[in-house]
């Protein structure tokens, strides 16, 4: 019994440490969520071993299946951008760490927690550095239709060293709308938007 309580306390600590990082970054699944996920996974694992389920791996699989619904709840799409994937995968990993603690693999669970923190805390700076030189953005330009397309803006994008991933143009009775996904450095995106904001022909600009 004492060992089980010790394992639950380890799971509590794991969820608290990772949850604090998520809470600090104002993510949808924060401190309390991570603690409960870790504790629940740990407790389910302890119970499966104590009850003597014929195939304990089936219970572990069911834990991961249940977490799939929880993870899906924190993923959402906004303006052609998907958010929450890192938080969803963190929930998945916290469950695995809780299961490891429940099974008695304390060192493994603590080392796994350390690796997760390295990924969440330190690698974000590497990610930010990459985004300064290789950043993807969505642009939407609306102009009055004057018997011509918006291809001139695609030529403009190239002048600012932008790579056009996808471009779509739609025409209504009086207006023409262009949507593009552009990849370039953060500095070039800034220069491009400054130019577009000063373009008198553009009636609406979203970037």
pLDDT value for 38: 94
pLDDT at 28 over 90: no
Contact 195, 148 (CB under 8 A): no
pLDDT value for 51: 77
Question: Do 44 and 123 have their domain in common?
Answer: yes
Question: Do 139 and 119 have their domain in common?
Answer: no
pTM above 0.75, yes or no: no
Question: Do 188 and 162 have their domain in common?
Answer: yes
Question: Do 17 and 50 have their domain in common?
Answer: yes
Q: Which of 76, 11, 21 is nearest to 44 (CA)?
A: 11
Q: How many residues does the chain have?
A: 207
More confident residue, 87 or 40: 40
The token pair at 128 is 């930010």
More confident residue, 50 or 31: 31
pLDDT value for 54: 66
Question: Do 163 and 188 have their domain in common?
Answer: yes
Domain limits at 145? 135-206
Contact 129, 181 (CB under 8 A): no
pLDDT digits (tens, 9 = 90+) for 145-175: 988 889 899 999 999 999 998 889 999 888 9
Question: Do 21 and 91 have their domain in common?
Answer: yes
pLDDT at 80 over 70: no
pLDDT band at 203 (very low <50, low <70, confident <90, very high): very high
pLDDT band at 36 (very low <50, low <70, confident <90, very high): very high
pLDDT value for 119: 92
pLDDT at 79 over 60: no
Domain boundary among 131, 156, 187: 131
Domain count, the chain: 2
Give the angle 136-141-143 at the CA atoms, nearest 5°: 165
pLDDT value for 57: 65
Question: Do 150 and 112 have their domain in common?
Answer: no
What residues form DSSP beta bridges with 177?
Answer: 142, 170
Domain boundary among 103, 131, 159: 131
Give the angle 135-136-139 at the CA atoms, nearest 5°: 130
pLDDT digits (tens, 9 = 90+) for 103-113: 999 999 999 99
More confident residue, 175 or 128: 175
Question: Do 125 and 143 have their domain in common?
Answer: no
Of the listed ranges 39-43, 127-131, 146-150, 162-166, the one predicted with least confidence: 127-131
More confident residue, 10 or 49: 10
Question: Do 27 and 125 have their domain in common?
Answer: yes
Question: Do 110 and 189 have their domain in common?
Answer: no
Helix (H, G, I), strand (E, B) or coil at 23: helix
pLDDT value for 166: 84
pLDDT value for 199: 93
pLDDT band at 77 (very low <50, low <70, confident <90, very high): low
Domain boundary among 131, 160, 175: 131
Mean pLDDT for the chain? 87
Q: Give me the CATH number covering residue 182.
A: 3.30.70.260
Question: Do 124 and 56 have their domain in common?
Answer: yes
Question: Do 122 and 154 have their domain in common?
Answer: no
């Amino acid at each position: 019994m004492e060992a089980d309580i010790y394992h639950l306390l380890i799971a509590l600590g794991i969820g608290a440490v990772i949850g604090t990082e998520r809470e600090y970054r104002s993510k949808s699944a924060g401190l309390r969520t991570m603690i409960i996920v870790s504790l629940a996974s740990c407790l389910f694992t302890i119970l499966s071993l104590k009850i003597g389920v014929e195939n304990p791996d089936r219970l572990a699989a069911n834990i991961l299946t249940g977490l799939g619904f929880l993870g899906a709840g924190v993923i959402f799409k906004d303006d052609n951008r998907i958010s929450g994937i890192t938080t969803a995968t963190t929930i998945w990993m916290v469950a695995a760490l809780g299961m490891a603690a429940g099974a008695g693999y304390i060192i493994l669970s603590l080392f796994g927690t350390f690796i997760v923190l390295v990924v969440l805390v330190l690698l974000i700076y590497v990610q930010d550095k990459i985004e300064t030189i290789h950043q993807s953005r969505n642009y939407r330009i609306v102009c009055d239709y004057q018997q011509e397309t918006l291809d001139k803006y695609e030529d403009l994008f190239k002048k600012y060293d932008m790579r056009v991933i996808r471009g779509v143009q739609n025409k209504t009775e009086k207006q023409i709308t262009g949507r593009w996904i552009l990849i370039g450095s953060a500095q070039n995106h800034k220069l491009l938007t400054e130019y577009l904001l000063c373009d008198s022909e553009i009636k609406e600009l979203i970037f």
